[in-house]
Amino acid sequence: MAKRQGLDPGSIDAEILVFLSRRERARAVDVARGTGLNPKSVWQALQRLVRLGYVNKDEFDIYSITEVGLQEVQDLKADRLRRVKFFTARLARHVDELSEEEVRILETLETKVKDKLEKSK
């Protein structure tokens, strides 16, 4: 069994693991489409995740998440700071796809968070 290393929540690796945790199995191209990430980056990350023991690859080049990978996803979701970093990084990778209305929503959310933090000091 592979030893968990605690992936960076802002990494492509973390996004791929979360994607695979929602699907039973997927080809690299399906992971790229489903995450919106660059196919070459996805393929490289999948190779790394296989080496680390987070993902399995079968003889048909279909990837699935391992128990170690699932535990990493559960840890990511359980740790609020890591979860926020994950979503922030994921959002940053898709910023070009946001509409003007979605940007305004994010600005409103940022203001609410800042106000809440200032009140809690």
| Percent of the chain residues past pLDDT 70, beyond the cut | 95
* Cα–chain center distance at 21: 10
What single-letter amino acid sits at 7? L
Whole-number CA gyration radius for the chain: 16
User: Is residue 37 in some structural domain?
Assistant: yes
Is residue 98 scored above 90 in pLDDT? no
Which of 17, 8, 3 is CA-nearest to residue 65? 17
What's the CA gap between 89 and 11, in Å, rounded? 8
Domain that holds residue 74: 12-120
Residue 63: give its domain's CATH number.
Answer: 1.10.10.10
Higher local confidence (pLDDT), 94 or 57: 57
User: Is residue 2 in some structural domain?
Assistant: no
Instruction: Please count the structural domains in the chain.
Output: 1
Is residue 1 scored above 50 in pLDDT? no
The predicted model gives 91-118 an average pLDDT of 87
User: Is residue 26 in some structural domain?
Assistant: yes
Specify the 3-state DSSP secondary structure of 55.
strand
User: Is residue 6 in some structural domain?
Assistant: no
pLDDT at 5: 61
Output the pTM of the full model.
0.74
Q: For residue 64, what are the β-bridge partners?
A: 56
User: Is residue 56 in some structural domain?
Assistant: yes
Structure token pair of residue 85: 């970093």
